[in-house]
Amino acid sequence: MEQDRSSQSRPPHVLVFPLPLQGHINSMIKLAELLAIAGFKLTFLNSHHNHERLVKFNNIAAHSERYPGFQFKTITDGLPLNHPRSGSWFLDMFEDTMELKMKESLREVLVNSSPPVDCIIGDGFLGFALDVAKELGIPIIFFRTSSPCCFWVYHSIPDIIQAGELPINGSEDMDRLITTVPGMETYLRCRDLPTFCRKLDIEDSSMKLVVKQTRKSLQADALILNTAEELDGPILSQIRTKCPRVYAVGPLHAQLNTRLNAKHGESYDHFSNTLWEVDKSCIFWLNKQPNRSVIYVSFGSITSTSREQLVELWYGLLNSKTKFLLVVRPNSVIGKDGEGEDVVMELMEKSKDRGYIVNWAPQEAVLNHPAIGGFFTHNGWNSTLESIVAGVPMICWPQFADQHVNSRVVSEVWKIGLDMKDVCDSKIVEKMVNDVMVDRKEEFAKSASEMAKVTNQCVNVGGSSYSNLDCLIEDIRIMSLKTHKK
Ligand code: UDX
């Protein structure tokens, strides 16, 4: 269908297309909202399944009122309706037939879009969006929602293999330094690489997929990263040697808060993008606790724990000198025949005086609550950034994807937490919680609050991320004028 690109007076129309996972939606929707504040028309492309949950647990009418030019559209995630979509289900999306279904649906949305889409901001994990964009002559910018450090490690994997530093020999010292990732020579160890690098097989399909998607991200017109120059400067310089147009505009949740405050004043309601029902009762519980006395424990939206791991964590927390707020998502404890759910009920009963357990928390509000003194986290990139912005030190228990690299940077480069990677032992949990919350409390509180100060400055007027977002907005305007003229 011939698209009408003649009108030059209308605002640019941007389509934002995330991988259909909570962690990806969170940061991409925030970017979309920031572009809507700049006056752009926005189409946010959700999967049918996620949109149903977004509508169920959020006030979509209030969202439309706040962002009049913002519309949601939905497409398939490629999976059959009865697919359980739990555990590591998302890997199924990368099978060729699923990808083909999503690719066709994306094409259809773009071809039928009115006004025409002037620019696509695609999730860097959905490389096929580049092929569709090229075919239709629409500029595309990729957004990688994971950390820049991990993006750089993914990119470097072929070089690490070439240098003979991979595969890791099963019996060797996991603390061996990896020296072939430029900028990380002094701190990246075997155990900090993404978990698929632990396999002996360098032809592993997950590894190949990630490398392929990462290299493809660099073929887009530009790359957006959810970080700030002050946080990841040295690695951003490395990435810019491969892709000159990199916009570091994060942390996006903080940048959105800054711009919403400026527009509506402090009193605006926070809009959440949650795909689970939020249990706000934990805020009332936190209100009754002394300042910086509670550790918040949560492992994001995908990670599962075994029954044994949860019990170790719980004993460590219980034996420590501190209170805890623990998130256990429904169906996230792996055990036989409902054993997982039983253990949660049992722990809830036994921890009444020392802790509070919820299925899903309002995480940003929790981390900014004065009662919180530490975050026991899996180091998903959103969680890591949310903790940094709130000035909360971390205990890191990484599980997959970018999390092993992130925890190394948190503990070794930024020195705002401890890394509990590769172990789950109640004694170690207890020791680390006591270190962060009691014995070394002031040391960690100081480093975390300094980091928070620097990071929050980046998203204020004149800060690096604030200016980079202004550049991105201007560049999309220019791009869309060129597209109109075609
Ligand atoms: C995944 C990857 O782990 C992450 O590293 C990648 O960058 C994005 O996709 P996830 O594992 O869910 O995401 O972790 P994370 O990135 O931390 O995102 C979880 C989000 O859910 C956070 O924004 C957090 O605020 C929110 N959350 C989590 C809640 O709102 N309530 C909760 O109880 C738990």
Q: Are 459 and 206 in contact (CB under 8 A)?
A: no
Q: What is the percentage of the chain residues whose pLDDT exceeds 70?
A: 94
CA-closest residue to ligand 1 atom 30 = 363
Among 212-226, 341-355, 406-420, which stretch is predicted with the lowest mean pLDDT?
A: 341-355
Per-residue pLDDT for 343 more than 90?
no
Q: How far is the CA of 170 from the centre of ligand 1 (A)?
A: 31
Q: Would you say the CB of residue 273 lies under 6 angstroms from ligand 1?
A: no
| 116 CA to centre of own chain | 29
Per-residue pLDDT for 2 more than 60?
no
Q: How far is the CA of 25 from the centre of ligand 1 (A)?
A: 10
**What pLDDT, on a 0 to 100 scale, did the predictor assign at position 484?**
64
CA-closest residue to ligand 1 atom 9 = 23
**What pLDDT, on a 0 to 100 scale, did the predictor assign at position 111?**
97
CA-closest residue to ligand 1 atom 6 = 146
Per-residue pLDDT for 171 more than 80?
no
Pick the atom of ligand 1 nearest to 403's CA.
5
CA distance 132 to 103: 7
Q: If pLDDT is split at 50, 70 and 90, which confidence band does 482 have? A: confident
Identify whether 24 is a catalytic site residue.
yes
pLDDT, one tens digit per residue, over 175-206 is 999 999 999 999 999 999 999 999 888 888 88
Q: How far is the CA of 447 from the centre of ligand 1 (A)?
A: 23
Return all residues near 389 (Cβ < 8 A) that are at least 6 apart.
Answer: 251, 253, 254, 367, 452, 455, 456
DSSP code of residue 354? T
Domains and CATH numbers, the chain: 2-150+197-250+459-485 (3.40.50.2000), 281-456 (3.40.50.2000)
- When pLDDT is averaged across residues 263-268 and rounded to a whole number, the result is 74
* Distance set, CA 279 to CA 54, 162, 268, 363 (Å): 16, 49, 21, 10
Contacts by residues 192-195 (CB-CB < 8 Å, ≥ 24 positions apart) = 192/404, 192/405, 192/407, 192/408, 192/421, 193/153, 193/160, 193/166, 193/168, 193/404, 193/405, 194/150, 194/153, 194/154, 194/400, 194/401, 194/402, 194/404, 194/405, 195/399, 195/400, 195/404
- When pLDDT is averaged across residues 338-347 and rounded to a whole number, the result is 72
Q: How far is the CA of 165 from the centre of ligand 1 (A)?
A: 31
Per-residue pLDDT for 6 more than 50?
no
Per-residue pLDDT for 74 more than 80?
yes
Q: Would you say the CB of residue 145 lies under 6 angstroms from ligand 1?
A: yes
Q: Would you say the CB of residue 302 lies under 6 angstroms from ligand 1?
A: yes
- When pLDDT is averaged across residues 325-352 and rounded to a whole number, the result is 79
Per-residue pLDDT for 5 more than 60?
no
* Distance set, CA 469 to CA 219, 268, 272 (Å): 21, 22, 22
Per-residue pLDDT for 87 more than 80?
no
Residue 143 or residue 349, greater confidence: 143
- When pLDDT is averaged across residues 331-337 and rounded to a whole number, the result is 78
Q: How far is the CA of 22 from the centre of ligand 1 (A)?
A: 6
CA distance 60 to 431: 44
Pick the atom of ligand 1 nearest to 383's CA.
17
Catalytic residue among 77, 118, 123, 435: 123
Q: If pLDDT is split at 50, 70 and 90, which confidence band does 238 have? A: very high
Q: Would you say the CB of residue 387 lies under 6 angstroms from ligand 1?
A: no
Identify whether 123 is a catalytic site residue.
yes
Helix/strand/coil for 129: helix
**What pLDDT, on a 0 to 100 scale, did the predictor assign at position 332?**
86
CA-closest residue to ligand 1 atom 7 = 146
Q: What is the mean pLDDT of the chain?
A: 92
* Distance set, CA 415 to CA 387, 393, 411 (Å): 13, 9, 5
CA distance 252 to 225: 9
pTM equals: 0.95
Q: If pLDDT is split at 50, 70 and 90, which confidence band does 8 have? A: low
Q: How far is the CA of 300 from the centre of ligand 1 (A)?
A: 4
- Averaging pLDDT over each range in 78-82, 306-310, 467-471, which range is the top one? 467-471
pLDDT, one tens digit per residue, over 134-167 is 999 999 999 999 999 999 999 999 999 999 999 9
pLDDT, one tens digit per residue, over 405-428 is 999 999 999 999 999 999 999 999
Pick the atom of ligand 1 nearest to 146's CA.
7
